[in-house]
Amino acid sequence: MPAPAEIDLERVICRLADLEQTGARAFRLGGGDWPLRGFVVRCGAAVRGYVNHCPHAGHPLDLQPHHFLTPDRVLIVCASHGALFDKESGLCIAGPCSGQLLRSIALNVMDGLILLAPEVDIAALVAATS
Ligand code: FES
Which residue type occupies 4?
P
Atom of ligand 1 nearest to the CA of 81: 3
Give the DSSP letter string of 5-42.
PPP-GGGEEEEGGGGTTTSEEEEEESSSSS-EEEEEEE
What is the signed CA dihedral for 97, 101, 103, 104, rounded to 10 degrees? 140
**Is residue 75 one of the residues assigned to a domain?**
yes
Number of domains in the chain: 1
Cα–Cα distance measured from residue 109 to residue 127, given in angstroms and rounded to the nearest whole number: 25
Q: Does 3 map to a domain?
A: no
Ligand 1 atom index nearest CA of 97 = 3
| Beta carbon of 80 within 6 Å of any ligand 1 atom | yes
Cα 85 to the chain's mean position, in Å? 12
Task: Please tell me if the CB atom of residue 117 comes closer than 6 angstroms to any atom of ligand 1.
Answer: no
Is residue 77 lining ligand 1, measured as CB closer than 6 Å?
Answer: no
Q: Is residue 21 part of a domain?
A: yes
The answer to whether 62 and 68 are in contact (CB under 8 A) is: yes
CATH of the domain at 94: 2.102.10.10
Residue 1 domain-assigned? no
Mean pLDDT of the chain: 91
Q: Which residue range(s) make up the domain with 32?
A: 9-128
The reply to whether the predicted model has a pTM over 0.85 is yes
Lowest mean pLDDT among 17-21, 48-52, 60-64, 88-92: 17-21
User: On the CB side of 124, how many CA atoms lie within 13 Å of its CA?
Assistant: 6
- Which residue's CA is the closest to the ligand 1 atom numbered 1? 57
The stretch 13-17 carries a mean pLDDT of 94
What letter represents residue 130's amino acid?
A: S
| Any atom of ligand 1 within 6 Å of the Cβ of 76 | no
Tens of pLDDT, residues 71-126: 999 999 999 999 999 999 999 999 999 999 999 999 999 999 999 999 998 888 88
Residue nearest (by alpha carbon) to ligand 1 atom 4: 81
